[in-house]
A = this chain, B = another copy of it.
Amino acid sequence: MAVESCNSKISADDLQTFCVAVMENVGVSTSHATTTAEALVMTDTWGVFTHGTKLLHGYQKRLRVGGLLTEGEPTIVKQNPASAIVDGGSLLGQVTSKFAMQLAIDLAKNIGIGFVGVRNSCHFGAAGYYTWLAASQGMIGVSMANDVPIVAGPGSRKAILGTNPISYAVPAGKHDPIMLDMATSTVAAGKIFAAVQSGRPIPDNWIIGPDGLPSTDGSLIPDQGALQPMAGHKGYGIALLIESLAALLTGSAVTWDVGSWLFGDLSQATDHGHAFLAIDVNSLIPLEEFHSRVDALIDQIHKAPKAEGSERIYMPGEMEWERRRHALAEGIPLPEDVIAKLRELAEEVELESPV
C-alpha cells in the first residue's frame, strides 16, 4: 500500500464529518449517516481504500433515485432465541448490517452463539467492520455477503457466483484482534484493472477468457471474461456456503437475481443478502484465559523462523491495525483515486471537499 505525501492526509474526524454531511444532504438521518460514515472511515484507516469512503459517491447516487431508501429502519421478520432474519428495507447496507451483527451479539450473550441472516440489503462495504464490532465485545464474529456473479466455477464458461466476501475476527488480549476480510475470488477486480493500466500480463489463475479457460489478458475483464475462484474448487465451495447462508437461507435475491449496487438501474433495490455469526467466548471459556491463549499463539507465530527475504510473519489483520494507528495519529493517507471521488462527490452535493 503506497503511502501518499503529507498534504493528501486527512484526519479521520474531518472525513467522518464530511461523510455524515453528504448523507444528511440527500435525506439520510443523522443516526444512519453516522453509522455508515463510521464503517467507511474505519475501513480507510485500515488502508482498505477500495471499501472505504470511496464508496460513498455510488451510495449517494442510489440514495437520490431510490435504489437505496433514506427512511425506515431494519426490521426483525423472524426471531428465535439464537437466530433471526432481518429485512434491511433497502436501507444503506452498513446500517442494516451493524444492526444485524449487534443483534447476533445480543442473542449470543449467555446462551452461547447467535446467527442473524439479512435480506433486502445492499452493498455493506468491508465485511471486517462487523466482525470487529463482535470482537470488540468479546465475541468471535463472522460476516458474509453475496453479490452479483462475476466469478466462475470449475467448468463454467462464465461467472456463476459473486465475489462473496467473508470476514472473521477473534479477540486477543495484548495483541490486536485476528481479523481476516477476503473475497472468495483469487483477486479483486481492481487488481486486474491495475495490471491492465500498467500493461502487465496477469497470472493464469486470476481470470478466465470467453472460452472459459484461464487467460493472462486482464483486458478481458469485465466484459469478456470472469474472475477465477481462489484455490479452484475450494474457493467455489466456500462461495457457495456464503450464498447458502447469506441468500438461500435469508430469502434475499440469489446470484443472477442480485442487483449491481454500482451499475444498472440505480432506482431499483439490489436485494443483497448477508449473514452474521457471533460466538460468546466467555460462555465457553473465561475471556481472560482465551485472550492468553490467543496471545500465546500470536507470539509463537511471530517468533517462528522466517522465509528467505521475509522479516515478519503477519497475523491476519495485523497490517490493517498498524495502518490504523498511523492514520489516527498522522491522518489517513488517501490515495489519488479516493481523493478524486470525494471531490466529485463534494461537487455533486454542493459541499466543500475535505481534501
State the A residues within 8 Å of B (CB).
78, 80-85, 108, 110-115, 117, 140, 142, 152-158, 160, 168, 170, 178, 180, 182, 186, 208, 211-213, 230-231, 233-238, 240-241, 243-245, 248-251, 254-256, 277, 279-281, 283-285, 290, 293-294, 296-297, 300-301, 304-316
Contacts and interface: CB of A to CB of B under 8 A. Distances in A.
A180 B115 CA distance: 21
Given A157-B307, A211-B308, A285 B240 contact: no
A252 B297 CA distance: 13
A314 B114 CA distance: 32
Contact of A306 (B157, B312, B315): B157
Interface centre among A241, A251, A307, by most B CB within 10 Å? A307
Contact of A115 (B254, B279, B312): B279
A114 B113 CA distance: 7
Contacts of A243: 297
Given A80-B111, A113-B83, A284-B78, A312 B155 contact: yes
Contacts of A301: 153, 156, 160
Nearest to A281: B249
Contacts of A178: 240, 244
Nearest to A226: B307
A55 to B, nearest CB: 22
A309 B240 CA distance: 23
B305 A212 contact: yes
A113 B110 contact: no
A308 to B, nearest CB: 4
B290 A212 contact: no
A165 to B, nearest CB: 11
Contacts of A80: 110-112, 280, 283-284
30 contacts: A80-B111, A80-B280, A81-B112, A82-B112, A82-B114, A83-B111, A84-B112, A85-B284, A112-B115, A113-B114, A155-B306, A155-B311, A155-B313, A156-B304, A156-B305, A156-B307, A157-B305, A180-B234, A180-B238, A180-B241, A182-B237, A230-B231, A231-B231, A237-B316, A240-B316, A243-B297, A249-B285, A249-B290, A250-B285, A254-B297
Contacts of A279: 83, 115, 245, 249
A304 B160 contact: yes
Nearest to A245: B140
A234 B241 contact: no
Contacts of A208: 307
The 8 closest A-B pairs by CB, nearest first: A212-B307, A83-B112, A180-B237, A155-B310, A80-B112, A230-B231, A157-B305, A82-B112
